[in-house]
């Protein structure tokens, strides 16, 4: 029973979405199915939030290694949740002029805006900017000329990297019009348009077929590994 009902829900939900794609008249059914998923995901968020609190409260109470970070996590979670739930605005709204904080909670100067602008955005930008350094270190390792394939990869990468900079354009600018195809910037465009697109399409076709096959297995209940043991 624990497996049969989820399998039925999966199959019905999946086939409704497939049917809705081909039948415009049933588009609404597909949209409703997706709304049900959103409802379930929203309920599940309580589970996630509860789990987060449980882990970090335990870590704090046990004073385990790094428990200070758990305190910060709990504080950040609590403050953000409170600010989000209370929807504290800056000015009174026209509907409720007697309540000083009843205005739009996302407008400039509100606590929500403040958290977003001065906590969330800088932290996210910091994490994202680290990517530049990781790209450099990964490229250094990937482009080692160990064998013929690696040399080809290195050469191609060199042309593309150079072609995307001003130096690349400038270096081969002197070439006559008859040899314009050999200019580094044009070579870059050619490689990206022909070789990269071809490789990408081959991978995309494989992915599309894989997704279709996997989806069918899940809808038909052939693959049930995501459902657990089924024991009560």
Partner 1 sequence: MNNGLDAPYPTLTRLTQLSFRLSRAIMCLAVLPAIACLAASVAMAQGPAPVTNLQSADHPWDGGDNADLTWEVSADDATLVESYFIYKAMMQKGPIPADLLTESERKYALVDVVPAGTTEYTVGSVPGSGYVRLKDLSDEQRALFDPNDLPDKPHKKITVELGYLFKIVAVGSDGSQSVETITAAPYSPTRQWFDAKRMYLLIITIIFGGSVVFFIQHARAGKDLKIRKIGGLAAVDEAVGRATEMGRSCMFIPGILDMNDIQTIAGMTVLSRVAKTAAEYDAKVEVPTCRSLVMTSARETVQAAYLSAGRPDAYNADFIYYVTDEQFGYVAYLQGNMVREKPAACFYMGAFYAESLILAETGNSIGAIQIAGTAMPAQLPFFVAACDYTLIGEEFFAASAYLSGEPEQLGSLKGQDVGKIIVGIGIIVGVTIATLAAWFVDTGFLTTWSEYIKGVILT
Q: Give the residues lining the site for partner 1 (CB under 8 A).
A: 18, 21-27, 34, 37, 40-41, 44-49, 51-52, 55, 66, 120, 123-124, 127-128, 130-131, 134-135, 137-139, 141-142, 200, 203-207, 209-218, 220, 222-223, 225-231
Q: Does residue 110 sit in helix, strand or coil?
A: coil
Tell me how far apart the alpha carbons of residues 81 and 46 are, in angstroms, rounded to a whole number.
Answer: 12
Min CB(123)–partner 1 separation in Å: 7
The nearest distance, CB 126 to partner 1, in angstroms, is: 8
CA distances from 33 to 17, 211, 216, 219 (A): 8, 20, 18, 15
Nearer to partner 1, 35 or 167 (CB): 35
Residue number, 145 or 204, with CB nearest to partner 1: 204
The smaller minimum CB distance to partner 1, of residues 2 and 182, is found at 2
Residue closer to partner 1 by CB (options 43, 148) is 43
Minimum distance from residue 222 beta carbon to partner 1 (Å): 6
Q: How far apart are CA 53 and CA 171, in angstroms?
A: 58
User: Which lies closer to partner 1 via its Cβ, residue 119 or residue 167?
Assistant: 119
- The one-character DSSP state at 116 is I
In whole angstroms, the minimum distance from the beta carbon of 130 to partner 1 comes to 6
Q: What is the DSSP letter of 118?
A: I
Structure-block tokens of residue 211: 């997704």
Q: What's the min distance (Å) between Cβ of 124 and partner 1? A: 5
Token look-up 């250094």 returns: 140
Q: Which is nearer to partner 1, 10 or 172 (CB)?
A: 10
CB of 179 to partner 1, least distance (A): 27
Nearer to partner 1, 149 or 177 (CB): 149
Q: What is the DSSP string of 120-179?
A: IHHHHHHHHHHHHHHHHHHHHHHT---SHHHHHHHHHHHHHHHHTSHHHHHHTTTS-GGG
For the chain, the residue count is 232
As a whole number of angstroms, the distance between CA 184 and CA 158 comes to 10
> Could you tell me which residues come within 8 angstroms of residue 37 by beta carbon, excluding any fewer than 6 positions away?
13
Give me the least distance between CB of 40 and partner 1, in Å please: 7
């Amino acid at each position: 029973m624990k497996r049969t009902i989820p399998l039925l829900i999966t199959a019905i939900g999946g086939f409704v979405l497939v049917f809705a794609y081909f039948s415009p008249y049933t588009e609404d059914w597909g949209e409703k199915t997706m709304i049900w998923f959103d409802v379930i995901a929203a309920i599940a968020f309580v589970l996630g939030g509860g789990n987060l609190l449980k882990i970090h409260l335990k870590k704090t109470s046990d004073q385990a290694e790094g428990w200070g970070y758990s305190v910060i996590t709990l504080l950040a979670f609590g403050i953000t949740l409170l600010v989000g739930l209370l929807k504290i605005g800056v000015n009174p709204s026209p509907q409720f002029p007697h309540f000083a904080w009843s205005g739009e909670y996302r407008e400039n100067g509100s606590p929500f805006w403040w958290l977003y602008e001065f906590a969330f955005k800088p932290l996210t930008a910091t994490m994202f900017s680290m990517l530049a350094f990781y790209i450099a270190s990964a490229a250094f390792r990937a482009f080692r000329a160990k064998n013929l394939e690696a040399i080809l990869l290195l050469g191609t990468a060199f042309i593309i990297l150079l072609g995307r900079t001003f130096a690349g354009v400038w270096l081969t600018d002197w070439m006559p019009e008859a040899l314009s195809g050999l200019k580094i910037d044009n070579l870059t465009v050619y490689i990206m348009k022909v070789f990269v697109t071809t490789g990408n399409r081959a991978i995309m076709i494989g992915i599309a077929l894989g997704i279709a096959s996997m989806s069918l297995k899940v809808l038909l209940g052939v693959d049930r590994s995501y459902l657990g043991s089924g024991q009560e």
